[in-house]
């Protein structure tokens, strides 16, 4: 029973990582409601779980169906074509396979004293799986940091350090657990370690979304402040233009008045000069 629960949690974690991987490069479908997005994610989790439950011995078929499910569901979740969805699904699956292989080889050659994953209560193998999934999650965060285009992803390194801290801490903790608890005395101890490792994996997701919500709120407030300053600057600019226009208009009016008075003055002088000439000739 605990094995099925463990598998379900890992599958949910993997589906969320798949969604986050797509989110690095794609834009969510704005036409979908939140309930529809949740339904799509549940569909992806069910596909992953059924493939793992019934096709565990047929690896190639299992991987093909998993990729196909991700392609179809994520093409609805995000505003992308099927071709792009195929590319991203293959990239994510490739990343997962590479990280799984590196984690397994590293455990066999560096950590595991027996040179292979122990079968007693399948604890060591399960810890290696969690280690692999957390490493994939960390890789996705690094991809978000370097390739993310959203305002919440173009953040200073100090903010990104908050996102990176807990996955790195979890990886170190899992490695310590693998090295320390390779042999468990009983099933109760194994279940306790299962619970701790699963709790750390779940906490990574909760902490990520918690920090992401906080950063998103801060980013929105910052954008509102910037828009407010831009609006204020535009008002000041329009006011300055209006004042300059009024000043220029006044200057032009005064200049015209002077020209008018000057013209009147010249006409008056010419008239006076004419009268003097006439008077002299008489």
Quickly count: other Cβ atoms within 10 Å of residue 10's Cβ.
20
- pLDDT tens digits in sequence order for the chain, 282 residues long: 566 777 888 889 999 999 999 988 888 888 888 888 899 999 999 998 888 888 878 888 888 999 999 999 998 999 888 989 999 999 999 999 999 888 888 777 665 554 444 444 466 777 888 888 999 998 988 888 777 665 555 566 676 777 778 888 888 888 888 777 666 666 777 778 878 888 888 888 888 888 777 777 776 776 777 777 777 777 777 777 776 766 776 666 666 666 655 566 555 545 445 444 444 444
Q: Which residues of the chain form beta strands (DSSP E)?
A: none
User: What pLDDT digit, counting tens, does each position of 92-146 carry?
Assistant: 999 999 998 888 887 776 655 544 444 444 667 778 888 889 999 989 888 887 7
What CA–CA distance (Å, rounded) separates 275 from 76?
97
Token reading at 269: 């002088």
What CA–CA distance (Å, rounded) separates 148 from 54?
36
Alpha carbon 23 to its chain centroid, in Å, reads 7
Token reading at 18: 């798949």
Tell me if 181 sits within 8 A of 193, measured CB to CB.
Answer: yes
What CA–CA distance (Å, rounded) separates 178 from 128?
8
pTM: 0.71
Q: Which residue has the tokens 């831009």?
A: 230
């Amino acid at each position: 029973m605990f094995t099925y629960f463990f598998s379900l949690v890992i599958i949910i974690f993997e589906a969320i990582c798949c969604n986050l991987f797509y989110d690095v490069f794609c834009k969510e479908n704005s036409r979908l409601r939140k309930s529809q997005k949740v339904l799509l994610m549940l569909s992806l989790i069910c596909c992953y779980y059924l493939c793992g439950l019934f096709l565990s011995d047929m690896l190639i078929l299992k991987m093909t169906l998993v990729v196909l499910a991700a392609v179809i569901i994520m093409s609805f979740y995000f505003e992308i074509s099927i071709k792009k969805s195929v590319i991203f699904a293959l990239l994510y699956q490739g990343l997962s396979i590479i990280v799984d292989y590196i984690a397994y080889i590293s455990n066999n050659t560096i950590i595991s004293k027996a040179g292979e994953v122990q079968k007693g209560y399948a604890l060591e193998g399960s810890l290696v799986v969690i280690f692999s999934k957390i490493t994939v999650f960390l890789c996705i965060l690094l991809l978000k940091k370097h390739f993310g285009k959203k305002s919440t992803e173009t953040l200073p390194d100090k903010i990104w350090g908050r996102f990176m801290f807990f996955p790195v801490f979890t990886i170190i903790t899992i490695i310590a657990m693998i090295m320390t608890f390779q042999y468990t005395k009983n099933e109760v101890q194994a279940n306790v370690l299962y619970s701790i490792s699963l709790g750390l994996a779940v906490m990574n997701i909760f902490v990520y979304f918690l920090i992401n919500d906080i950063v998103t709120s801060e980013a929105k407030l910052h954008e509102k402040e910037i828009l407010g300053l831009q609006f204020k600057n535009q008002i000041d600019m329009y006011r300055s233009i209006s004042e300059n226009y009024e000043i220029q208009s006044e200057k032009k009016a005064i200049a015209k008045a002077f020209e008018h008075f000057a013209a009147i003055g010249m006409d008056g002088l010419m008239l006076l000069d004419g009268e003097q000439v006439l008077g002299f000739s008489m």
